[in-house]
Structures are given as structure tokens and as C-alpha cells.
Amino acid sequence: MRLISYEGNNGPRVAVKVGEAYVDVQQADSRLPANMKQLLALGKEALASLERAAQSAEAIALENIRFSAPVPDPQKVICIGLNYSDHAKESGMEPPPEPVVFNKFPSSVCGHLAPIVLPGLSNQVDYEAELVAIIGTPGRDIPEHSALEHVAGYCCGHDVSARDWQLGKPGKQWLLGKTFDTFAPFGPELVTADEVPDPGNLSIQLRLNGETMQDSTTGQLIFSIAELVAYVSSVCTLLPGDVIFTGTPPGVGMARKPPVFLKPGDAVEVEIGSLGVLENHVVAGN
């Protein structure tokens, strides 16, 4: 199943894909919530019921859909650094012995076709294609062997990074360099986990103005999705709608000679396996 969050005429809504169209969740079943976190919290049985009900509901006109991030209001946006073996090699670093974890603020989240706004405070804004895992079933101290049962689904993500803040500021401002507004696009759809039997075997690409800049597979992940869920949940309770950006493959702008950083007018596409294409355009900020 493929789910989206979108801005309807009456505010934020959730829809499910039926064929090539989308059906509003509450049109399919008025008992269901119009919020993705609340919908995921109802569990897999509610999603299965929704899928059946949506088959006979009226589709939304595509021109009326304005994509939000699949979870527009996550409580947590968790990010993993240096999690591809080929990217570690590109960076001249040894693979870490355990996951490197940081975060973005929820205010950095945006969706498919939303602009990435370049802050006036940075002139080294970089791109990073990432597979995003979204939590469905809450848990703390989740065992690795059952960790994937807590994942509701997956989507394409883009970890936008101000390198001059992340690496050039005193103390290296990883959090602030990663969390400017619009620096966490993900989407366009949440593809439920039953449609992604092996998240460790997906192609992952980023295209900048049509040119392929990153091209790898999630088979290069140092720490699997299950390992990441287990590791993070050993510290904090994971909740429905929590988002995990799982790391980026090689080809990032700062590693190129000369470096390539985002500029106004750029078009960026992230494509991962059968999850779709996340597209965002870059604009100048203040």
C-alpha cells in the first residue's frame, strides 16, 4: 500500500493510492483519522481494512493534491551518519563500530515538490540521498530479530546539509548544520513494509539537474534497518510516525573535486528502488 499526506481544502489529510489515483482516507472510512501518525498507531489491521474500503471510494482530482511529507509532524527525525561502506571509503574514514546518530528538528521536514530553501548563513549546502524508515509499532529495547515488525514503511529521503556549519563551526555544529528549515524532504509516498520485502537490497540514486551524482544500493549499508531500530530504541521509545534517515551513499558534493554545492534553480531527484522519485527544487532564502 502507498500512503500520502497532503494539504486539502480543509487542512492536512491522508490518502491511499488506488491504481494511479489517490483516495482520501476518510472518504474510504470516516472512522479513520486524517493524520498519518494517528493512522499508523492503529496498526496493520486498520491499514488492511483501509485498503479494502478504498477500492470503492471516489478518487481525489490530482490537481487538488499538494504533497506534504508522508509524516508532516514526526516527533523524532533520527539520522544516521557514515552508514554506507562505499561512502566511508570516499570520506577516507574507517566504518564506525556502532551507528553514528544525530537528529533534525521536525521544523526541517518538507515533502515532495516543496522548495529547498538555501539559508543566507551558508554557502556550502550539500545533497544526500537516503532511504527513510518510518516507525509504525511503538517500542523500547526492541530486539533486532523483531525490529522490522516495528517499521510501517519506507520512502525516499534527502538529508540536506550545510557543510560549513556541520564541519566548519567551532565544535562542528552537526545538529544546526542539518536542521535549517526545509532540510529534511522525504516522500512522495510511504510505501508499506509488506511491499518492501528486503530494504537492504534497493537501488538508490540522486540526480542533480538530470545528472546522476549518487548511485549505489542499500546493500552497502553498514548497519541494517533492523540494527538501527534496535540500537536507537535501546535509548528512547520509538513512536508511530518517527522517522529514521538511514545514511547516504558516495557521490556527495563536498567529496567532489571541485566540490559541488546546491544553488538556486537546481532540481534534485532521489529515486530508491520501487519507492518512487522525490523531487525538490532549490531556491534562495534570506
Q: Is 70 inside a domain boundary?
A: no
CA distances from 127 to 23, 75, 173, 202 (A): 32, 24, 17, 19
What is the tens place of the pLDDT at every residue in 44-98? 889 988 988 888 888 888 888 999 999 999 999 999 998 998 777 777 778 889 9
Name the pLDDT band for 8 (thresholds 50, 70, 90): confident
Q: Are residues 57 and 90 in the same domain?
A: no
User: Could you check whether the bond before residue 95 is cis, i.e. omega within 30 degrees of 0?
Assistant: no
pLDDT at residue 150 in the model: 98
pLDDT in tens, 165-174: 999 998 889 9
Same-domain pairing of 21 and 120: no
Q: Is residue 69 part of a domain?
A: no
Of 52, 70, 77, 63, whose CA–CA distance to 15 is shortest?
70
Q: Which of 11, 43, 64 finishes a domain?
A: 64
Decide the pairing of beta strands 77-81 and 243-245: parallel
Domain boundary among 10, 39, 64: 64
Nearest to 28 by CA among 15, 45, 9: 15
Confidence of residue 283 (pLDDT cuts 50, 70, 90): very high
pLDDT at residue 194 in the model = 95
pLDDT in tens, 122-151: 999 999 999 999 999 999 999 999 999 999
Q: What is the CATH number of the domain that holds 166?
A: 3.90.850.10
Number of domains in the chain: 2
Torsion of CA 16, 159, 152, 69, to 10 degrees: -30
Assess whether 196 and 141 both reside in one domain: yes
Distance CA 263, CA 116 (A): 10
Residues 150 and 244: their CA atoms lie apart, in Å, by: 12
Assigned C-alpha cell, 44: 496493520
- How confident is the model over 177-217, as pLDDT tens digits? 999 999 999 999 999 999 999 999 999 999 999 999 999 99
Residues 32 and 133 reside in one and the same domain = no
- Domain coverage including residue 255: 77-284
Answer yes or no: do 265 and 158 share one domain.
yes
Element holding 156 (H helix, E strand)? strand 151-158
Q: What is the pTM of this model?
A: 0.96
- Please tell me the number of Cα atoms within 13 Å of 84 on its side-chain side: 27
Residue 15 lies inside a defined structural domain of this protein: yes
Cα–Cα distance for residue pair 45/53, rounded to 1 Å:
12
The answer on 99 and 188 residing in a single domain is: yes
Residues 212-260: tens digit of each pLDDT: 999 999 999 999 999 999 999 999 999 999 999 999 999 999 999 999 9
SS3 content of the chain, % helix, strand, coil (to 5): 25, 35, 40
Same domain, 49 and 159: no
